[in-house]
Chains A and B, each alone.
Chain A
């Protein structure tokens, strides 16, 4: 039983030398249920897919917002809709396939069928048979539609929310995130290269912390560090939107001094200068953006990470399965006008990321070992790097954005601190 509930004396620990996170936030089933209502089902825009995944009329994709199954569709007019994947009749899944192309959405249980915007169009035996049975006289189709969510599309990214009150997507994201999305997705048509799915045995917020944490990236991930894909000595920054929901972490490779780096990282396991690639083609990429930024990890509350690591581009969607389980769905993309060589570079550099990625496989382990270690505990973690306050940093030796994440989380859950 958690003490972290609104209208009770909170036990969120406070410390003078930084910020603490009570481990029960990663364990408590009641908090998990409240997150589903107040975050994934509440005043937040969740990512549900790319328009490039549903390019044609009739295309659908089944996915989740948090734990809740939803359907993303494109109708014959090109309109993108998002609705709960739950029949208005008796609650069955309407789409039982992850993707497809259909004219109508039909529940198999009693064959209620809906159009691609979720409007109920037909109910078998509505008028009964031989004057018997059938729906009541006051039954109206349009009061039994699928539950349709608000949808906004930004540069090919589809977001949805059940909230009627949350601000527009653009305001929700804030100008810094909007322009950072535009940088990667704004000018060119996205082309999906494929998905990877990684099932993590940990709480989803451990991953929210991980992707807001430039401190770990050069220490846990040797590949990053050794090959200079990312080092905390590089020029970069860790910035938040005004509400501290979202984080933009970026770095510029080749901005640090190799000699200095060798000194800084000399006692660090993850700087292995003797480790050379015998086939360097893996890292033979192209410079893609004029601003010199070679690494971007954009964490968008609550369920999206957008990444650029070298020439790999991907969105990572977080789907929750309980306080101790979540799935990460990586959708890798390029651009429809990539030449064959560029497409080849992206597919080869995909070796770096995802559940088998030479860079990123360790994040699966990091989530796992925290969740294992905190079992049964009432302790708290400590965030101090960079000052332990939710502040922007024009450097990469900080945990400040994680503090920002938690302050925003407290406000969503109504936790008085």
Chain B
């Protein structure tokens, strides 16, 4: 079924639903779900706006396959040392920018609040999502997710994906 057959309201519903599932798994310590929201061949790039503004492609995180996303999660679970923390993502201003027969382009804004072990919650990062979303076996998945962050000054470190 071509994605063009969905009404704008239906498309927005499906995209919002995927975005919500995305932030719920990141914010509620279900990182293992995170890779499953992407297609097998995919692109995830977390990049500072100050680099994209200079046409530079260096990213903070850059994964071009679902297994690479899985590796990141395994590394966070078993390898890396960082302060235990949790996020709350707040997403707003979703727009559908393009609809092709096999993928939808969507952009939205986010703010991430981080809570550390001392219980203080701080605004950690703001930015935008530019997503290409496709369906596979009836499931809505990210084919590409470009996360461009305004907060060029990363506070201490960035462990959990945005």
Given known contacts A350-B59, A356-B61, A356-B157, is B81 in contact with A365 (CB within 8 Å)? yes
Residue A301 interfacial (CB < 8 Å): no
**B51 & A195 in contact (Cβ 8 Å cutoff):** yes
Compute how far the CA of A285 lies from the CA of B78 in the bound complex, rounded to whole angstroms.
24
Q: Give Cα distance in the complex from A190 to B83, angstroms.
A: 35
- With A193-B56, A194-B54, A196-B154: A223-B62 Cβ-Cβ less than 8 Å: no
Q: Could you tell me which residues of chain A, from 259 to 291, have a CB within 8 Å of some CB in chain B?
A: 270, 272, 275, 277-279, 281-282
- Mark each residue of chain A from 203 to 234: 1 if its CB lies under 8 Å from any CB of chain B, else 0: 00000000000000000101100100000000
- The tally of residues in B whose CB lies under 8 Å from a CB in A reads 37
* Residue in B closest to A361 when the chains form the complex, CB atoms: B157
Q: Please, which residue of chain B has its CB at the minimum distance from the CB of A99?
A: B54
> Is B11 engaged at the interface, CB distance under 8 Å to the other chain?
no
- The answer to whether B159 and A356 have CB atoms under 8 Å apart is yes
Interface size class for chain A? 35 or more
Residues of B within 8 A of A356 (CB): 46, 60-61, 154, 157-159
Interface contact B82-A350, CB-CB below 8 Å: no
Asked whether B57 lies within 8 Å of A193 as measured between CB atoms, the reply is yes
Q: Tell me if B57 and A347 are in contact (CB < 8 A).
A: yes
Complex contact A355–B157 (CB within 8 A): yes
Q: List chain B residues, Cβ under 8 A from A364.
A: 82, 156-157
User: With contacts A279-B65, A350-B59, A351-B61 known, is A199 near B156, CB below 8 A?
Assistant: yes
Contacts of B80 in A (CB 8 A): 222-223, 358, 361-362
Chain A minimum-CB-distance residue to B71: A277
Cβ B81 vs Cβ A196 within 8 A: no
Known: A194-B54, A356-B61. A275 touches B74 (CB 8 A): yes
The interface of chain A, by Cβ under 8 A from chain B, is 98-99, 192-201, 220, 222-223, 226, 270, 272, 275, 277-279, 281-282, 327, 332, 347-348, 350-351, 354-356, 358, 361-362, 364-365, 368
- The 30 listed contacts between A and B (C-beta, < 8 Å) are A193-B56, A193-B58, A194-B48, A195-B51, A197-B153, A198-B156, A199-B153, A220-B81, A222-B79, A223-B75, A272-B79, A275-B78, A277-B67, A277-B71, A278-B67, A278-B74, A279-B65, A279-B71, A282-B71, A347-B58, A347-B62, A350-B58, A351-B62, A354-B60, A355-B60, A355-B156, A356-B157, A356-B158, A361-B157, A364-B156
List residues of B whose CB falls within 8 A of some A CB.
46-48, 50-51, 54, 56-65, 67-68, 70-72, 74-75, 78-83, 152-159
